[in-house]
Protein backbone atom coordinates (compact mmCIF):
# COMPACT_ATOMS: atom_id res chain seq x y z
CA UNK A 1 0.00 0.00 0.00
CA UNK A 2 1.41 3.38 -0.99
CA UNK A 3 1.38 5.91 1.89
CA UNK A 4 -0.48 9.16 1.34
CA UNK A 5 1.92 12.10 1.31
CA UNK A 6 1.13 15.45 2.89
CA UNK A 7 1.25 17.05 -0.56
CA UNK A 8 -1.54 14.74 -1.72
CA UNK A 9 -3.74 15.87 1.18
CA UNK A 10 -3.03 19.51 0.31
CA UNK A 11 -3.85 18.93 -3.36
CA UNK A 12 -7.07 17.16 -2.40
CA UNK A 13 -8.06 20.13 -0.25
CA UNK A 14 -7.42 22.48 -3.19
CA UNK A 15 -9.72 20.35 -5.33
CA UNK A 16 -12.28 20.39 -2.53
CA UNK A 17 -12.29 24.21 -2.57
CA UNK A 18 -13.67 24.37 -6.11
CA UNK A 19 -15.91 21.30 -5.90
CA UNK A 20 -17.27 22.10 -2.44
CA UNK A 21 -17.78 25.76 -3.33
CA UNK A 22 -19.81 24.74 -6.39
CA UNK A 23 -21.97 22.18 -4.57
CA UNK A 24 -22.54 24.65 -1.74
CA UNK A 25 -24.79 26.79 -4.00
CA UNK A 26 -25.68 24.40 -6.86
CA UNK A 27 -29.44 23.68 -7.06
CA UNK A 28 -30.47 20.38 -5.56
CA UNK A 29 -27.27 19.86 -3.59
CA UNK A 30 -27.63 23.12 -1.64
CA UNK A 31 -31.23 22.63 -0.54
CA UNK A 32 -31.92 23.73 3.01
CA UNK A 33 -33.84 20.47 3.46
CA UNK A 34 -30.58 18.52 3.20
CA UNK A 35 -28.63 18.48 6.51
CA UNK A 36 -25.27 20.32 6.35
CA UNK A 37 -23.43 17.13 7.32
CA UNK A 38 -24.90 15.29 4.34
CA UNK A 39 -23.95 18.12 1.98
CA UNK A 40 -20.42 18.09 3.37
CA UNK A 41 -20.10 14.33 2.92
CA UNK A 42 -21.36 14.62 -0.68
CA UNK A 43 -18.75 17.30 -1.43
CA UNK A 44 -15.97 15.23 0.18
CA UNK A 45 -17.04 12.07 -1.66
CA UNK A 46 -17.18 13.88 -4.99
CA UNK A 47 -13.74 15.36 -4.39
CA UNK A 48 -12.19 11.98 -3.52
CA UNK A 49 -13.77 10.46 -6.63
CA UNK A 50 -12.22 13.16 -8.84
CA UNK A 51 -8.76 13.11 -7.26
CA UNK A 52 -7.34 10.32 -9.50
CA UNK A 53 -8.45 12.23 -12.62
CA UNK A 54 -7.38 15.74 -11.60
CA UNK A 55 -4.36 15.13 -9.37
CA UNK A 56 -1.71 14.95 -12.16
CA UNK A 57 -2.92 18.26 -13.62
CA UNK A 58 -2.99 19.86 -10.19
CA UNK A 59 0.51 18.67 -9.29
CA UNK A 60 1.97 20.15 -12.45
CA UNK A 61 0.23 23.49 -11.83
CA UNK A 62 0.95 24.13 -8.14
CA UNK A 63 4.33 22.49 -7.61
CA UNK A 64 6.80 24.58 -5.57
CA UNK A 65 4.33 27.35 -4.69
CA UNK A 66 5.06 29.57 -1.72
CA UNK A 67 2.71 29.79 1.27
CA UNK A 68 1.15 33.17 0.26
CA UNK A 69 0.64 31.90 -3.29
CA UNK A 70 -0.99 28.74 -1.94
CA UNK A 71 -3.38 30.81 0.22
CA UNK A 72 -4.30 32.92 -2.80
CA UNK A 73 -4.83 29.74 -4.83
CA UNK A 74 -7.24 28.39 -2.20
CA UNK A 75 -9.27 31.60 -2.29
CA UNK A 76 -9.24 31.62 -6.10
CA UNK A 77 -10.44 28.02 -6.35
CA UNK A 78 -13.23 28.65 -3.85
CA UNK A 79 -14.38 31.72 -5.80
CA UNK A 80 -14.39 29.77 -9.07
CA UNK A 81 -16.44 26.98 -7.51
CA UNK A 82 -18.97 29.40 -6.04
CA UNK A 83 -19.21 31.17 -9.42
CA UNK A 84 -19.99 27.90 -11.22
CA UNK A 85 -22.62 27.01 -8.63
CA UNK A 86 -24.19 30.46 -8.79
CA UNK A 87 -24.47 30.31 -12.57
CA UNK A 88 -26.37 27.03 -12.25
CA UNK A 89 -28.54 28.41 -9.47
CA UNK A 90 -29.52 31.40 -11.60
CA UNK A 91 -31.52 29.07 -13.86
CA UNK A 92 -33.61 27.85 -10.95
CA UNK A 93 -33.97 31.34 -9.48
CA UNK A 94 -35.19 32.58 -12.87
CA UNK A 95 -37.63 29.68 -12.99
CA UNK A 96 -38.80 30.49 -9.48
CA UNK A 97 -39.28 34.15 -10.44
CA UNK A 98 -41.36 33.28 -13.48
CA UNK A 99 -43.31 30.63 -11.54
CA UNK A 100 -44.32 33.34 -9.07
CA UNK A 101 -45.30 35.54 -12.03
CA UNK A 102 -47.34 32.67 -13.47
CA UNK A 103 -49.21 32.37 -10.19
CA UNK A 104 -49.98 36.08 -10.48
CA UNK A 105 -51.15 35.74 -14.08
CA UNK A 106 -53.61 32.93 -13.32
CA UNK A 107 -54.89 34.35 -10.03
CA UNK A 108 -53.05 32.11 -7.54
CA UNK A 109 -50.70 34.71 -6.07
CA UNK A 110 -53.05 35.53 -3.20
CA UNK A 111 -52.79 31.96 -1.91
CA UNK A 112 -49.54 31.62 0.10
CA UNK A 113 -47.87 28.24 0.09
CA UNK A 114 -45.60 26.41 2.50
CA UNK A 115 -41.85 27.22 2.48
CA UNK A 116 -40.11 24.09 1.22
CA UNK A 117 -36.95 25.00 -0.69
CA UNK A 118 -36.52 28.51 0.73
CA UNK A 119 -37.30 30.10 4.05
CA UNK A 120 -39.99 32.33 2.53
CA UNK A 121 -43.24 30.83 1.22
CA UNK A 122 -44.03 30.83 -2.48
CA UNK A 123 -47.42 30.48 -4.13
CA UNK A 124 -48.45 26.85 -4.42
CA UNK A 125 -47.96 26.90 -8.21
CA UNK A 126 -44.44 28.28 -7.82
CA UNK A 127 -43.53 25.64 -5.24
CA UNK A 128 -44.91 22.87 -7.47
CA UNK A 129 -42.88 24.04 -10.48
CA UNK A 130 -39.58 24.58 -8.65
CA UNK A 131 -39.75 21.33 -6.68
CA UNK A 132 -40.58 19.35 -9.82
CA UNK A 133 -37.71 20.97 -11.72
CA UNK A 134 -35.32 20.11 -8.86
CA UNK A 135 -36.50 16.50 -8.87
CA UNK A 136 -36.01 16.31 -12.64
CA UNK A 137 -32.41 17.46 -12.11
CA UNK A 138 -31.74 14.11 -10.42
CA UNK A 139 -34.22 11.94 -12.34
CA UNK A 140 -32.62 12.90 -15.66
CA UNK A 141 -29.09 12.28 -14.29
CA UNK A 142 -28.09 15.90 -14.71
CA UNK A 143 -26.35 15.80 -11.33
CA UNK A 144 -23.74 13.62 -13.04
CA UNK A 145 -23.43 16.32 -15.69
CA UNK A 146 -22.67 18.78 -12.87
CA UNK A 147 -19.71 16.63 -11.85
CA UNK A 148 -18.62 16.28 -15.48
CA UNK A 149 -18.79 20.06 -15.84
CA UNK A 150 -16.64 20.46 -12.72
CA UNK A 151 -13.98 18.20 -14.21
CA UNK A 152 -14.15 20.09 -17.51
CA UNK A 153 -13.87 23.41 -15.67
CA UNK A 154 -10.22 22.69 -14.94
CA UNK A 155 -9.59 22.91 -18.69
CA UNK A 156 -11.78 25.98 -19.26
CA UNK A 157 -10.64 27.74 -16.05
CA UNK A 158 -7.18 26.32 -15.32
CA UNK A 159 -5.68 26.65 -11.88
CA UNK A 160 -2.70 28.65 -13.09
CA UNK A 161 -4.99 31.34 -14.54
CA UNK A 162 -6.50 32.16 -11.12
CA UNK A 163 -9.86 33.83 -10.61
CA UNK A 164 -10.53 36.95 -12.68
CA UNK A 165 -13.32 39.25 -11.50
CA UNK A 166 -13.90 40.71 -14.98
CA UNK A 167 -14.04 37.29 -16.65
CA UNK A 168 -16.17 35.90 -13.84
CA UNK A 169 -18.70 38.75 -14.03
CA UNK A 170 -18.88 38.38 -17.82
CA UNK A 171 -19.64 34.66 -17.52
CA UNK A 172 -22.12 35.28 -14.72
CA UNK A 173 -24.00 37.94 -16.68
CA UNK A 174 -24.15 35.63 -19.72
CA UNK A 175 -25.56 32.79 -17.60
CA UNK A 176 -28.03 35.20 -15.98
CA UNK A 177 -29.25 36.40 -19.38
CA UNK A 178 -29.57 32.83 -20.69
CA UNK A 179 -31.49 31.80 -17.56
CA UNK A 180 -34.07 34.57 -17.76
CA UNK A 181 -34.47 34.25 -21.53
CA UNK A 182 -35.15 30.53 -21.08
CA UNK A 183 -37.58 31.15 -18.20
CA UNK A 184 -39.41 33.84 -20.19
CA UNK A 185 -39.64 31.65 -23.29
CA UNK A 186 -41.15 28.66 -21.53
CA UNK A 187 -43.57 30.80 -19.50
CA UNK A 188 -44.68 32.92 -22.48
CA UNK A 189 -48.06 31.13 -22.83
CA UNK A 190 -48.99 32.28 -19.34
CA UNK A 191 -47.75 35.82 -20.02
CA UNK A 192 -49.91 35.99 -23.15
CA UNK A 193 -52.83 34.46 -21.28
CA UNK A 194 -52.54 37.03 -18.49
CA UNK A 195 -52.42 39.92 -20.93
CA UNK A 196 -55.38 38.74 -23.01
CA UNK A 197 -57.65 37.75 -20.14
CA UNK A 198 -57.04 40.98 -18.23
CA UNK A 199 -57.57 43.04 -21.37
CA UNK A 200 -60.88 41.31 -22.08
CA UNK A 201 -62.23 41.70 -18.58
CA UNK A 202 -60.92 45.26 -18.44
CA UNK A 203 -62.92 46.11 -21.55
CA UNK A 204 -65.95 44.37 -20.03
CA UNK A 205 -65.56 46.44 -16.90
CA UNK A 206 -65.51 49.64 -18.97
CA UNK A 207 -68.60 48.59 -20.88
CA UNK A 208 -70.55 47.53 -17.78
CA UNK A 209 -69.18 49.57 -14.85
CA UNK A 210 -72.19 48.71 -12.66
CA UNK A 211 -71.09 45.06 -12.34
CA UNK A 212 -67.99 44.15 -10.27
CA UNK A 213 -66.27 42.35 -13.14
CA UNK A 214 -63.10 41.69 -11.16
CA UNK A 215 -64.80 39.48 -8.59
CA UNK A 216 -66.97 37.76 -11.17
CA UNK A 217 -64.04 37.05 -13.50
CA UNK A 218 -61.66 35.59 -10.91
CA UNK A 219 -63.05 32.01 -11.02
CA UNK A 220 -62.87 32.03 -14.81
CA UNK A 221 -59.29 33.36 -14.76
CA UNK A 222 -58.20 30.65 -12.31
CA UNK A 223 -60.02 27.91 -14.22
CA UNK A 224 -58.47 29.01 -17.52
CA UNK A 225 -55.01 29.19 -15.95
CA UNK A 226 -55.30 25.68 -14.48
CA UNK A 227 -56.51 24.35 -17.82
CA UNK A 228 -53.60 26.03 -19.61
CA UNK A 229 -51.15 24.58 -17.10
CA UNK A 230 -52.64 21.12 -17.55
CA UNK A 231 -51.85 21.18 -21.26
CA UNK A 232 -48.43 22.91 -21.04
CA UNK A 233 -46.75 21.84 -17.80
CA UNK A 234 -45.09 18.75 -19.31
CA UNK A 235 -43.60 20.71 -22.20
CA UNK A 236 -42.78 23.56 -19.81
CA UNK A 237 -40.61 21.38 -17.58
CA UNK A 238 -39.15 19.43 -20.51
CA UNK A 239 -37.92 22.62 -22.18
CA UNK A 240 -36.46 23.92 -18.92
CA UNK A 241 -34.64 20.65 -18.25
CA UNK A 242 -33.30 20.59 -21.81
CA UNK A 243 -32.17 24.22 -21.55
CA UNK A 244 -30.35 23.61 -18.28
CA UNK A 245 -28.73 20.47 -19.72
CA UNK A 246 -27.59 22.46 -22.75
CA UNK A 247 -25.99 25.07 -20.50
CA UNK A 248 -24.21 22.34 -18.51
CA UNK A 249 -22.87 20.76 -21.68
CA UNK A 250 -21.83 24.11 -23.18
CA UNK A 251 -20.61 25.85 -20.04
- Let me know if residue 141 belongs to a domain: yes
Q: pLDDT value at position 116?
A: 63
Q: pLDDT value at position 2?
A: 43
Q: pLDDT value at position 182?
A: 92
What are the pLDDT digits (tens) for 87-128?
Answer: 989 999 999 888 888 888 887 766 666 666 666 677 788 888
- Let me know if residue 158 belongs to a domain: yes
- Let me know if residue 148 belongs to a domain: yes
Domain total in the chain: 1
Q: pLDDT value at position 91?
A: 92
Q: pLDDT value at position 181?
A: 92
pLDDT of 3 > 60? The answer is no
Average pLDDT of every residue of the chain: 83
- Let me know if residue 201 belongs to a domain: yes
pTM: 0.84
Q: pLDDT value at position 198?
A: 82
- Let me know if residue 144 belongs to a domain: yes
- For 18, the domain range is 6-250
- Let me know if residue 212 belongs to a domain: yes
Q: Three-state SS for 116?
A: coil
Can you list the positions of beta strands (E) in 71-133? none
C-alpha 32/C-alpha 91 separation (Å) is: 18
Model confidence band, residue 180 (pLDDT cutoffs 50, 70, 90): very high
- Let me know if residue 196 belongs to a domain: yes
Q: pLDDT value at position 166?
A: 82
Half-sphere exposure at residue 78, Cβ-oriented, CA atoms within 13 angstroms? 7
Looking at the DSSP bridge assignments, the partners of residue 123 are 112
- Let me know if residue 1 belongs to a domain: no
Amino acid sequence: MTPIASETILYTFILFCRIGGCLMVMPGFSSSRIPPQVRLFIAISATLAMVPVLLPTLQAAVRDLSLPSMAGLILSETAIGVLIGLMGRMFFLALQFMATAIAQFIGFAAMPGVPIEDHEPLPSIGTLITITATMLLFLTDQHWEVFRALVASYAALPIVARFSIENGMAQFSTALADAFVLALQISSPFVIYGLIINLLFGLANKLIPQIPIYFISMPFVVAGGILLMYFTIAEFLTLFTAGFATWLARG
